[in-house]
A = this chain, B = another copy of it.
Amino acid sequence: MATQHTPQDQEPAGRQRTRRSPAPHERQRDAERTKARILDAAVEVFSAKGFDRARVTDIAERAGVNQQLISYYFNSKEGLYREIGRRWRAYEAETMPDDLDFAEQIKHGVRASVDPRLGGRLLAWDGLYDTGEDDEEARERNAQFQHEVQVLRERQRAGEIDDRFDPAALILIGLSAGNALAVYPHLARGLFDTDTVSPELVEHYAEQLAQVISSLSAVAPPRVPDSHK
């Protein structure tokens, strides 16, 4: 149990960061600043290495702070990881561009997936580590995805995409394929015969995937499932 007086959920939602006096704009100690630095470093490291291989020392170094501050501000490595998840979900929820068409959204997804600062790989790590338990995070995520399903369903009604497809399936397909360069970089290198996943490759792949998705609007005759052969 932490004997040191940890802070824990400060800043009651809507208040100014600079707590009381503005103070020399170059403080050497600033809780918010260091927390932010730790979080930024953590996203990159967790995303790149996954929870288990991520080293607390590594995160601290990149953040330029003492390792102990991670325990101090986030209780533990796991606490830090959860915090990242929370922030990411909030970020996603508010920045998801609703005006683009499905194919275009997925292109965005491909680009985002390979940005180390955005941690698109975290989704895959979480899925692989998943144990099936139904905690708060899970409910939050479910609500979010249920919403996505609704949005896509409306678009199907509007004719943007053939409505014989199950929207949930389409989202899963788009999302997983969109993440592919980030999740399977080794396969990508082999398939595209290159020794690195370059920005050009990212664009090319995004374009191809978008095209696949687009081809679902003017869809082919939906072959009767099963029953033949």
Contact = CB atoms under 8 A, between A and B. Distances in A.
A13 interface: no
Interface stretch (A3-11, A33-41, A64-72, A185-193): A185-193
B191 A184 contact: no
- Number of copies of this chain that the complex holds: 2
B205 A212 contact: no
Contacts of A200: none
Contacts of A176: 176-177, 179-180, 183-184
A25 B25 CA distance: 81
Interface stretch (A14-22, A76-84, A90-98, A161-169): A161-169
Interface residues of A, number: 69
Given A172-B191, A204-B169, A124 B215 contact: no
Contact of A130 (B124, B127, B179, B186): B186
Contacts of A146: 190-191, 193
Contact of A190 (B138, B186, B220): B138
B187 A127 contact: yes
A195 interface: yes
Interface of A: 50, 52-53, 121, 123-130, 132, 134, 138, 141-142, 144-146, 148-149, 164-166, 168-173, 175-177, 179-181, 183-193, 195-196, 204-205, 207-209, 211-212, 214-223, 225-226
26 contacts: A123-B187, A124-B128, A127-B186, A128-B183, A130-B186, A132-B186, A138-B189, A138-B190, A141-B186, A141-B190, A145-B187, A145-B191, A148-B191, A165-B208, A166-B208, A168-B193, A169-B205, A169-B209, A170-B208, A172-B184, A173-B212, A176-B184, A214-B223, A215-B216, A218-B220, A219-B220
